[in-house]
Amino acid sequence: MESQGRTFTEAEVAEIVKIATHEATKTAIDVYQKRHEDYLKKKNEKAVKNAITLLDGYTAMKGHCQSAISRASESLVPSDLATVLYDVFNRKGLLQIEAILASKRRTELIVEHIDRMLDVYKRQCAEKGKPYYACMIKRFVNHEPVSEIAKELNTVEKTVYNWSERGVEELSVYLFGAWAL
């Protein structure tokens, strides 16, 4: 093989191919690892975001579980008989009632899971003497101002942000398991 007046031996060509292959493989592995790390980071960020969403809506979900009808008979009064008969025959009303009942069952299951995981995480923080659970509950569930939480816990606002965010990160693993790692 010739390049600008120089001839390469087969051994030199083989060495060049070996080096190029090694570098290409190394680059491909580096790109794959970076993409995988980015994927895991995004997955973790999504779990944390979902945990914050659950904590933010926790009180409303508990209210839904307590207030939503649990049987179709709870929503009916005798004066609604004509409407009920019409709804049963066209099935739309019946499906709507079933959707409400299914929604309540799903919400109850989610709230029960959150309650259990909050209890476990609360105990863990208490055993370790960490304020993460309290900060997280005050900030995301009770919606207390960060300045008040800081005063109550005798710390600065930045620390409240750090503690509550650490609490959510740790709780997200309890809520979503290994998926949140």
> What are the tens digits of pLDDT across the range 159-168?
999 999 999 9
Note whether residue 40 is domain-resident: yes
Confidence of residue 76 (pLDDT cuts 50, 70, 90): very low
The residue-averaged pLDDT of 36-52 equals 82
Paired sense of beta strands 6-7 and 2-3, if any: antiparallel
Which element (helix H / strand E) includes 156? Answer: none
Stated pTM of the model = 0.62
pLDDT at 3: 53
160 exposed, middle or buried (CB, 10 Å; 0-12, 13-18, 19+)? buried
Note whether residue 14 is domain-resident: yes
Note whether residue 160 is domain-resident: yes
Average pLDDT, the chain: 82
Q: What's the number of domains the chain is made of?
A: 1
Q: Tell whether the model's pLDDT for residue 23 goes beyond 80.
A: yes
Note whether residue 87 is domain-resident: no
pLDDT at 48: 87
The residue-averaged pLDDT of 47-66 equals 87
Note whether residue 78 is domain-resident: no
Note whether residue 121 is domain-resident: no
CA pair distance 31, 177, nearest whole angstrom: 27
Range of the domain at 151: 2-56+130-180
pLDDT at 95: 52
Note whether residue 46 is domain-resident: yes
Q: Strand pairing partners for 3? A: 6
Note whether residue 98 is domain-resident: no
CA pair distance 67, 61, nearest whole angstrom: 10
pLDDT at 181: 65
